[in-house]
Structure 1
């Protein structure tokens, strides 16, 4: 599972002074979170009610520590050290009651930053009601991403800054071929800014406005999604 494509890591606070993360729930999503954080050098504590999943996570070395406990019990969370973590990710998306109770327990336990995974729009609302600082809905986000890729095949990569704005890598359209960045007037015509273009398998950042663009190469632009959608790609 590619978490970066879902914009998931926008919700996390990557402060090198605060390297402690806990993940509650070791399904596909929770394992992907653990593996990615652990590979980046962060200290990850994982818990799940299934001892088999806990053992597998330890054997696969995707976490520093893991315990099999019931996350709906505040005393078990406290004993496991969950309340001492900088950020807790509640990844129990498919079990709504457990997800909501766990999120409430973690917030009431004093964790300042809680990210929770939802499986429906109603689930999103309930998680916010019990105090989740950020709620993600991976299936919805993945569906939106797929729809955009089908309707805008010229977009190679998209990094969402927030729900309304993105940085995208796109194939230079035929309409831009041979024209300089200044001539294209992307900001005034489309409301986007060009921040880089590809050349010799590398990207030139903050390019000279007199640089001509070539069809088939890649450019990177930043702007509101509604403006990006107006590009002829």
Structure 2
């Protein structure tokens, strides 16, 4: 047994100070600039706030502080402008673009023997008829065209661009249309089933 250098209490050999002296002055985990601060709690979520790495006493935890900061439109705009300006500078050099030179069969989404020509009947008026039939609602996510703030795309269910059968066409928002570029067999079966169910429902109503 040895004595604590501060209060002279007996302590074990492994300890430097006794339990109470070990938390005094600079040895206290909340010691900052000669002051001992009481534990602080976030004013939003009531979690304990760390004060050991800063000279300022924070009111919020890091998570709540980030939420508040990103809710500020000016802060978000400033960050996005910084990022976009850096990205623009980088992409001004064509070779820096990851898709540089990937045209035609070099593109990762290229599909061999896919018909890429639209017939003459494929017009804006024709596509508008399909959107009108679908009530200007995406047939996958059910979001209205007005909410998406852009016209719905008209998708060929069987991926044959020459097949203009109205039962082979369906209205999709751009986000849902992008999904159909992958797992094509799944989307073919899925939308075929959806359109068949709608046709049966119309026949019952009639």
TM-score range (shorter-chain normalised) is under 0.3
- Greater RCO, 1 or 2 (C-alpha within 8 Å, sep 6+): 1
- What is the TM-score with the length of structure 1 in the denominator? 0.19
**Higher Rg of the two aligned structures:** 2
Q: Which has the higher strand share?
A: 1
- What is the TM-score with the length of structure 2 in the denominator? 0.21
